[in-house]
Chains A and B, each alone.
Chain A
Amino acid sequence: MRLVILDKPNDVAEWAAKYVMKKIKDFNAGPEKYFTLGLPTGGTPLGMYKKLAEYCKNGKISFKYVKKYNMDDYVGLPPDHVQSYHYYMFHNFFKHIDIDPKNVHILDGNATDLEKECDDYEEKIKEAGGIRLFIGGIGPDGHIAFNEPGSSLVSRTRVKTLAHETLEANCRFFDNDITKVPTQALTVGVQTVLDADDVLILITGSSKALALHHCIEEGVNHMWTASAFQQHKHTIMICDEDATQELKVKTVKYFKNLNKIHEKLIEEYESKRISSSMLEFCEK
């Protein structure tokens, strides 16, 4: 697992956006070959979506051949409710990019048969050949998607009842009225995310510092579900300085020293081509 430590949330947004762009470009997507992308909601990835929309507007990247899979949505919330993840994704990302709505998949919390909706979702991902890149954020308790503490680390897409703390935390989005907060959500499982080829997890702000510590410096533990990614082959955790407050100096120093190598992960396509041709030249 890699940990990329940057100064500010804005740097995290830009780095993540560049990484996504590079992944999609390197994949060379086309009508016969779709890139599959898993996406989160929440405050943390907002900056990344903004950057990606900007790159798309400037013609640096196209989402025409990208299939998108969202991590979760509330149960029973109308799609046009401002707190629904349908609303979030449309207004913060989809409406700004050149995406075909047919390639957007979001769990439907209003489906009549929720279990079937979850099973179908797993099936859809499988049919598309799995997720190439899953992007996620984590909660202050280390949860990923709606996989609350105590969730199985081999869980699949399913209906999840939310912890009381989560309801309390979400209260502010629902007129400060806890009775209005949805009590259930549909969410991809930890294993669903673990199945992706690449995983990128964004962590910013001091409120996530303890979670980051548990997820990377402590053992794999279902009470901090994002810790499961210690056992994933290609996971990048990317954080700002504030989120490192609970980490050991040793840990921070080690990963910061790797920053030069991390930079290569987001190098522009053109420069990479030059360097690879240089490499070929040297090999000769």
Chain B
Amino acid sequence: MAAPGLITKFTNCCLLRDHQIIRDDLWVKDGKIIDPMELFYRHKKVYDQVVDCEDALIAPGYIDLQINGGFGCDFSHDIENTEECVSKVAKGILPHGVTSFCPTLVTSGPDVYRKVIPRIKKRPGGEDGATVLGVHCEGPFISPEKKGAHCLSSIKDIDEDSSQALQLIQMYGCLSNIVIVTLAPELPNALNMIEFLAKENIVVSLGHSNANIDISIKGVEKGATFITHLFNAMSAFHHRDPGIVGLLASHYKNVFFGLIADGIHTHPAALRIAHRTHSDGTVVVTDALSALGLPDGIHYLGSKSVEVKNGCAYLAGSDTLCGSITNFAECIRIFKQSTGCSTVEALEAGTLHPAQVLKIENQKGTLNFEADADLIFLNQDLQVLQTWIDGKCVYKRSS
């Protein structure tokens, strides 16, 4: 829509900026948010076109760090048509306000990883779908006791003898497409692995783990900065050994934690506890399954069958929850309602904080000058009215 150099002014809107909601206009040029003062005084320009936002709240686009698939596609299961799957999900989540995401792979065998990971390339978003930030590998170095819905036989130990680089390459095929690895810090040799991944600038997330608080802290000291779906698939909070959950109240303030705020996986009271303990670390994730956006019935997660009933996903024929099918925008609304937090806090859990996890907060998750013009228009109820990527409108709710 916008030709090179064209300046668009978004007006009649409120903006989420600097932890506040302010009444102001937003200027965009060449897919970036720009400083209107510099434009005015230095370049002697005002704008070329105006977008009337009709009193919408403009927030940065949502960033989903954990999504297994959706719209019938599962990144770990549909391994023959990975590109198609990624594209389908990338496009499908635009109405949910998600402008960038990390396709997530559950614990799988090396054959799956090596086939799939090289084909999930980081790519900028646009009309065809949300930005692919890189793969989130959930496993295979996880605790068998906390495997959740993951496949037990694919879980791997970390070898002491061979180098971390070699093990990772043998497992994943390539590292350049991976941005997050979830692992259990209590596994033998896990701490060295954390250190290695952190040095490679891959975010280490603690999860699917039985770790006690001491090992969790060691994991953080070695470079882990994230916790995968807090409370789920980890040792429960105990007052003498709070486990991974205890990190929220530790001295390490740079630890973020994912919350599946679908109203099912994490009880509202648990969401409140997490938010009130460490609100700056809150990251909402969907952990969505292939059934996201699909009706009730049987679907697939990895090599397992999943049954969707009444908006929940279970391992077929059991009561084991195995991922969420609640979309991102809905998760943010549930998070806000459950915790009673402010709109700013709810939105930042889906924008600024996930960007900080990936250390891309200068480009995404913010409306600061120079950041990417990935925007969502929201109404009072935080429903997504429009989604913009790179300064282009990619979704508009039909009125």
Contacts and interface: CB of A to CB of B under 8 A. Distances in A.
Interface string A92-123: 00110001111010100000000000000000
Contacts of A90: 36-37, 40-41
Chain B interface size range: 10 to 19
B240 interface: no
Interface string A78-99: 0110000011001100110001
Nearest to B37: A90
Interface in B317-355: none
A87 B37 contact: yes
Given A90-B40, A95-B25, A101 B46 contact: yes
Contacts of B25: 95
In the complex, which of the residues A79, A86, A99 has the most CB atoms of chain B within 10 Å of its own CB atom? A79
A102 B40 contact: no
The winner among B35, B43, B45, B46 for most chain A CB atoms within 10 A is B46
Nearest to B44: A101
B38 interface: yes
A79 B36 CA distance: 12
Contact of A86 (B41, B43, B45, B46): B41
Nearest to A102: B44
Contacts of B35: 80
Contacts of B46: 99-101
Contacts of B36: 90, 95
Contacts of A102: 44
Contact of A95 (B40, B43, B44): B40
A162 to B, nearest CB: 23
B40 A101 contact: yes
Interface in B174-207: none
A232 B337 CA distance: 63
B47 to A, nearest CB: 10
B357 to A, nearest CB: 29
Contacts of A91: 37
Interface in B40-56: 40-41, 43-46
A100 B39 CA distance: 12
Interface of B: 25, 35-38, 40-41, 43-46
16 contacts: A79-B38, A80-B37, A86-B37, A86-B41, A87-B37, A90-B36, A90-B37, A90-B41, A91-B37, A95-B36, A100-B46, A101-B40, A101-B44, A102-B44, A104-B40, A106-B41
Q: Which 10 A-B residue pairings sit nearest by Cβ, starting from the closest? A: A101-B44, A101-B40, A90-B37, A102-B44, A80-B37, A90-B40, A86-B41, A79-B41, A95-B36, A101-B46
Given A80-B38, A86-B41, A100-B44, 20 more contacts: A79-B37, A79-B38, A79-B41, A80-B37, A86-B37, A87-B37, A90-B36, A90-B37, A90-B41, A91-B37, A94-B40, A95-B25, A95-B36, A99-B46, A100-B46, A101-B40, A101-B43, A102-B44, A104-B40, A104-B41
